Amino acid sequence: MKKLTTFLLSAFISTITIAQTLPSSGGPDGFGYTFKNSNDPNGPTYQWFDISTIGTQVFGLGDDNFVGPFPISGFTYYSSNPTQFWIGSNGFISFNPVNIASTNAQFPIIPTVGGPNDYIAPFMSDLNFGGTNNPGKVFIYDSGDTLCVSFNDVPFWVNNSSQFGGNNTFQVILNRADSSITFNHFKQVGAPEPTAYTNNYISSGIENATGIEGLQYYRGDTIAGIVQTAVKFSFPTIIQPFTDAEVNWVDNTDNSGKIFTTNHSFSPTANIKNAGNQDITTSFNVSYHITNSSGAIVNLG
């Protein structure tokens, strides 16, 4: 009987999943951003902003894609003042047209140089808007002083007959008055496909245009206590000295892209802008790579 009790206890323990907990505060990053969540005595108060009846619904999202651009003004993000943004199906907004999907069944560490940059990720994971009767919706609402993007009832990608499962409702609010960023988490149920994802399938935080600076709020899998919480990223009152540069455009100043016929040769011209708050007084090298539609590199320079 004693041996049986030990066996049953061992079997029970093996099924327990230890959830990671959320940090109540963090930062600063190299630019000066800090964050506090609603569990911190000096943090924000959680207050869900329901824009489902007053906002504009966004269409075109599916599995691992993004839509946009949408206009934005009067908001400072790191050292830039973006004029447009895109919405990614995997739970993020970005200030350039990038798609962020998992790599080796994990979502990126924030920040990461060399990958997609210049984004805000309230709940970046393998979400899916595709499939029949998928309940996922996104709404945008601009009140003048704040801009809110709300992801409502968005499921994970799951390899079943409907290709989705679970349910997540969260939002990001950009405040023009103080350039703060707030994430609200209303609902979080389930997880993405268990045969594909075992850890680090959720990333949350902010990252600048080069990936040099950023502030990670959370990266992991099961989240303890995220439901009905808020986290606020505060723009620094004293900005740290920050040297950085980024590509402004390549060949085309209007939309940053150019189309050529097959086997056409060209010499790309790039414009590099100062993305920091310090003068750049030294020379530096600029390199590029060109990829085809499959993502394979076809030219380096």
The CA–CA distances, whole Å, from 133 to 164, 167, 188, 214 equal 10, 13, 19, 36
Mean pLDDT of the region 14-31: 75
pLDDT tens figures, 34-50: 999 999 999 999 999 99
What value does the mean pLDDT of the chain take?
A: 85
pLDDT of residue 6: 36
pLDDT at 18 over 90: no
pLDDT of residue 290: 66
Amino acid found at 177: A
Nearest to 171 by CA among 210, 228, 130: 228
How is residue 80 annotated by DSSP? B
pLDDT tens figures, 142-180: 999 999 999 999 999 999 999 999 999 999 999 999 999
Q: How confident is the model at residue 17 (pLDDT cuts 50, 70, 90)?
A: very low
Give the predicted TM-score (pTM) of the model.
0.77
Task: Quote the percentage of the chain above a pLDDT of 90.
Answer: 65
